[in-house]
Amino acid sequence: MKKNILRSKIKQIFIKHQLSKKHSEICADYLIKAELVEARSHGLLRLKMYCDRIKKKLINPKPKIRIKRISSSISHINADNSIGFVSADIAINQAIKNAKKTGIGLVAVNKSGHYGLSSFYAEQAVNKNLMVFCFTNAPPALAPHGAKKSLFGTNPICFGVPTGKIPFILDTSTSIINRGKIRRAYKLGEKIPYGVALNKSGKITTNAKEALLGTQLPIASFKGSGLAWMVDILSGVLTGSSHGGKTKDPFDDFTGPQNVGHLFITINPKIFVGRNFMREIKRNIKLVKKLPKAKGFSSILYPGERKYKTYKKNLNKDISIPLKILKEMDYLNAI
């Protein structure tokens, strides 16, 4: 489907679900971008879920988002159960403003929801020549190291920095694969990779449904578990949001709003070394890229390069949509 036609359809669907024109445009743009970078686990797969939660009054389509100024650098945002795209978009822009004024911006968000890919927000800060950290928590999917029950989310860690060329953006879940990939495999009747999840009995499974009912495996064993815990503290405890396994699954748990927390930290990279920063980051990347290549590698990529090239490659192509998701869109548009 043509990108402009798809954008109009998504926007129309969100407007039919009572979002404002501006908020509908924000949501449509983020969903389409996920498709263009081939992060389909965070794209159209989730459209029906957002709409279902709006219909059940678990996402507020007309939120009164409040920004509390704590200092010139620090802000706290009550998202009023808005869709996560909207509250996070406001928050990263506030963090950018704060950093432009003082050299650092710290913005916490509570009463929000799933906000898509963290790299969406990191990219905005990097494009303003800022270094950035983004954190958000998620529903239980990982068992803490030593436990046999899921508690932490797949809680992503995202870091971005300007390079003068393609932005350096590391965006990774603390699980081996993100939960959205398992959701997509389940919806489309596909298997998941071996070794990324366990079933309820604690055995490795390639069945997506069994994985959703079981637990996912963290990156690097206890280290990944520790990182997931760190994100739970930063985006849950610190922001005044749900944490410790209390974040509701947006697909399955309709007992109340998610109360997801986000934390954005933006930094002017020139605060310590001035103009030398850009020279040194370029030098840093060049040193890595000049290293001898391992077998099977023609180049050494830094985080963000592959995704950027994928986006550019797909920018003017039609977006392929599975029939099952097309039918969901037709249904949502007919409401």
Q: Count of CB atoms within 10 A of residue 207's CB?
A: 16
- Residue 334: its pLDDT value, please? 84
Query: Any idea what DSSP says for residue 254?
Result: -
- Return the half-sphere exposure (C-beta side, CA atoms, 13 A cut-off) of residue 231: 34
26 pLDDT band, cuts 50/70/90, is: very high
Which pLDDT score is estimated for 255?
A: 98
What CATH architecture applies to the domain 64-267? 2-Layer Sandwich (3.30)
The mean of the pLDDT values for the chain is 97
Domain boundaries, given as residue ranges, for the chain: 64-267
101-135 confidence digits (pLDDT tens):
999 999 999 999 999 999 999 999 999 999 999 99
The closest alpha carbon to 109, from 127, 126, 134, 131, belongs to 134
Q: Which long-range contacts (CB under 8 A, 24 or more apart) does 26-34 make?
A: 26/85, 26/86, 26/89, 27/83, 27/85, 27/86, 30/85, 30/116, 30/117, 30/120, 31/116, 32/3, 32/6, 32/7, 32/319, 33/117, 33/120, 33/311, 34/116, 34/117
Contact 35, 120 (CB under 8 A): no
